[in-house]
């Protein structure tokens, strides 16, 4: 087996100009992340046109969906690290074996997670004290979305394999299709075809489904994305091809994936648990209209802040691939430089985002929601959030770079420190105990971002991760 489908990728990533290679490798991932941001942004926008209850339901589903994606990181992190290192060393047989085992694990894990979340939907709604219409909306949304998580698992595993070889374009193509289908399908299902006079020519008529239309549009898009990933890997992509002989269980390969993936998954689950506890604090800041406004303002803030994540993760993904391939080629010096260059480039974007958030907070909240009370409780905390975007960017980029090297244990410990040492306890202290409202709760989030940014930067600069045996 060879890598003839992309003959220049390996040499270019290992020998090309570091600055240009990092930049152009990150761009397709940035486009993919931007599309992901647009989907979440658009879903929140649609819910904001319906009601605050709908926005709260969508917000809960977003957190649970994030949880599912973090569990799937059990596969994705190990896959990217192993594929990139094997690709850098020229071991095409190992690259193909890792991909096939990754896809097998994705199918199994996707079924387990999707089925579990279906039955846990009422538990999540109850944990946030949702009631009435909001609770009904949230439970239905979560149960239907559980089906979509099966397709998400397949997409994550396939994309992680492709990125390990330096192929960022195919995942971008797939996600472009997902985004297009999601927007069109969700819009039609929410409002119904009757709301659009120019669609009278359609042979079928779709009745308005309200907030439920958003989730069915999302699931439809995820299913199409998974089908496309499988299609490309059946044809052969970047030297990888789904093979019925190689896809049979290979214990040693699965062990290596899990060795890297388990700490990464624990890292992600710890972060999610902390975030969910943090969300519980937000949901208990107040009752009545002000409580609903706090929750909606928080969801909007997190949706908009996702633009920082999308940029940082784009450069982080580029760093992870290049770090892994450089270590596979036994070029530790280049591996060290990669993460710093990615942090520098994404940090410049972070400065721009900080300025936009700081001075555009009012306009952002007015655009995202029609409720004046939501504006009142959300604008000022969001302006303060603008001031900690640089530490957030550094934490994400260096975290991804370390994962590309297979270093997942130390980042896991740092996550535990940041989330349970600062975010959750400070949010409760200043938000609930001192009755500081949304701003008080967000103090915990500000502190967590700064602490993790400092500690992950220090870990990367130490260089201790270059000698790990994976």
Q: Average pLDDT in the 174-200 region?
A: 78
Task: Tell me the pTM.
Answer: 0.81
Residue 1 lies in a domain: no
C-alpha span between 260 and 241 (Å, rounded): 23
Q: Is the pLDDT of residue 422 over 80?
A: yes
**Higher-scoring residue by pLDDT: 12, 93:** 93
First to last CA, the chain: 23
Task: Determine the average pLDDT of the residues in 192-217.
Answer: 68
% of the chain with per-residue pLDDT over 90:
51
Range of the domain at 149: 15-467
Any domain includes 3: no
Average pLDDT of the segment spanning 325-348: 94
Q: Which of 140, 303, 112 is nearest to 210 (CA)?
A: 140
Residue 72: predicted pLDDT: 85
Residue 228 in domain? yes
pLDDT tens for each residue of 341-365 = 999 999 999 999 999 999 999 999 9
Q: Residue 7 pLDDT more than 50?
A: no
**Is 114 in contact with 146 (CB distance < 8 Å)?**
yes
Residue 359 lies in a domain: yes
pLDDT at 77: 87
Mean pLDDT lowest among 62-76, 305-319, 402-416: 62-76
Q: Residue 331 falls within a domain, yes or no?
A: yes
Q: Is 59 part of a structural domain of the chain?
A: yes
Print the SS3 string covering the chain. CCCCCCCCHHHHHHHCCHHHHHHHHHHHHHHHHHHHHHHHHHHHHHHHHHCHHHHHHHHHHHHHHHHHHHHHHHHHHHHHHHHHHHHHHCCHHHHHHHHHHHHHHHHHHHHHHHHHHHHHHHHHHHHCCCCHHHHHHHHHHHHHHHHHHHHHHHHHHHHHHHHHCCCCHHHHHHHHHHHHHHHHHHHHHHHCHHHCHHHCCCCCCCCCCCHHHHHHHHHHHHHHHHHHHHHHHHHCECCECCCCCCCCCCHHHHHHHHHHHHHHHHHHHHHHHHHHHHHHHHHCCCCHHHHHHHHHHHHHHHHHHHHHHHHHHHHHHHHHHHHHHHHHCCCHHHHHHHHHHHHHHHHHHHHHHHHHHHHHHHHHHHHHCCCHHHHHHHHHHHHHHHHHHHHHHHHHHHHHHHHHCCCCHHHHHHHHHHHHHHHHHHHHHHHHHCCCHHHHHHHHHHHHHHHHHHHHHHHHHHCHHHHCCC
pLDDT the model gives residue 6: 41
Instruction: Answer yes or no: is 279 within a domain.
Output: yes
What's the mean pLDDT when you consider all of the chain?
87
What pLDDT does residue 421 have?
A: 96
Whether the pLDDT of residue 91 is over 70: the answer is: yes
pLDDT level of residue 470 (50, 70, 90 thresholds): confident
For residue 196, the model assigns a pLDDT of 58
pLDDT in tens, 13-24: 888 789 999 999
Q: Is residue 36 part of a domain?
A: yes
Q: How far apart are CA 135 and CA 138, in angstroms?
A: 5
Question: Do the beta carbons of residue 466 and residue 401 sit within 8 Å?
Answer: no
Q: How far apart are CA 169 and CA 162, in angstroms?
A: 9
What local confidence, expressed as pLDDT, does residue 204 receive?
Answer: 64
- Is pLDDT at 194 greater than 90 in this prediction? no
Determine the average pLDDT of the residues in 382-398.
97
Q: How confident is the model at residue 189 (pLDDT cuts 50, 70, 90)?
A: confident
Please give the pLDDT value at position 306: 83
The count of structural domains within the chain is 1
Percent of the chain with pLDDT over 70: 93
């Amino acid at each position: 087996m060879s890598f003839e489908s992309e003959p220049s990728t390996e040499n270019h990533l290992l020998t090309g100009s570091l600055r240009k290679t990092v930049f152009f490798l990150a761009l397709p991932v940035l486009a993919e992340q931007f599309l992901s941001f647009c989907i979440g942004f658009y879903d929140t926008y649609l819910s904001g046109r319906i009601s605050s209850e709908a926005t709260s339901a969508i917000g809960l589903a977003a957190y649970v969906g994030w949880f599912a994606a973090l569990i799937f990181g059990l596969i994705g992190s190990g896959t990217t690290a192993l594929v990139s290192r094997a690709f850098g060393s020229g071991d095409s047989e190992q690259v193909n074996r890792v991909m096939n085992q990754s896809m097998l694990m994705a199918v199994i894990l996707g079924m387990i997670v999707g089925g579990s979340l279906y039955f846990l939907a009422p538990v999540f709604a109850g944990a946030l004290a949702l009631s009435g219409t909001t609770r009904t909306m949230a439970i239905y949304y979560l149960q239907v979305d559980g089906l979509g998580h099966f397709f998400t698992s397949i997409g994550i595993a396939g994309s992680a394999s492709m990125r390990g070889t330096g192929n960022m374009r195919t995942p971008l193509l797939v996600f472009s299709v997902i985004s297009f289908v999601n927007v069109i399908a969700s819009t039609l299902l929410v409002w119904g075809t009757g709301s659009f006079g120019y669609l009278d020519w359609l042979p079928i008529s779709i009745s308005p489904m309200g907030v439920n239309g958003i989730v069915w549009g999302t699931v439809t898009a995820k299913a199409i994305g998974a089908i496309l990933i499988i299609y490309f890997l059946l044809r052969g992509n970047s030297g990888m091809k789904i093979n019925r002989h190689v896809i049979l269980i290979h214990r040693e390969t699965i062990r290596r994936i899990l060795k890297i993936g388990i700490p990464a998954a624990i890292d992600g689950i710890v972060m999610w648990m902390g975030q969910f506890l943090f969300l519980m604090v937000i949901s208990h800041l107040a009752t009545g209209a002000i409580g609903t406004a706090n929750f909606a303002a928080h969801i909007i803030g997190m949706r908009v802040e996702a633009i920082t994540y999308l940029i940082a993760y784009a450069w982080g993904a580029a760093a992870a691939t290049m770090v892994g391939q450089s270590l596979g080629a036994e070029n530790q010096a280049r591996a060290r430089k990669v993460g710093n260059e990615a942090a520098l480039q994404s940090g410049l974007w972070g400065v721009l985002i900080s300025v936009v958030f700081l001075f555009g907070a009012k306009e952002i909240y007015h655009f995202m929601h029609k409720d004046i009370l939501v504006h009142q409780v959300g604008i000022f905390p969001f302006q303060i959030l603008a001031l900690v975007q640089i530490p957030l960017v550094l934490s994400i980029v260096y975290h991804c770079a370390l994962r590309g090297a297979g270093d997942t244990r130390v980042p896991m410990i740092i996550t535990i420190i940041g989330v349970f040492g600062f975010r959750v306890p400070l949010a409760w202290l200043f938000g609930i105990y001192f009755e500081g409202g949304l701003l008080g709760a967000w103090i915990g989030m500000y502190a967590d971002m700064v602490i993790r940014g400092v500690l992950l930067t220090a870990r990367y600069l130490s260089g201790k991760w270059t000698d790990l045996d994976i």
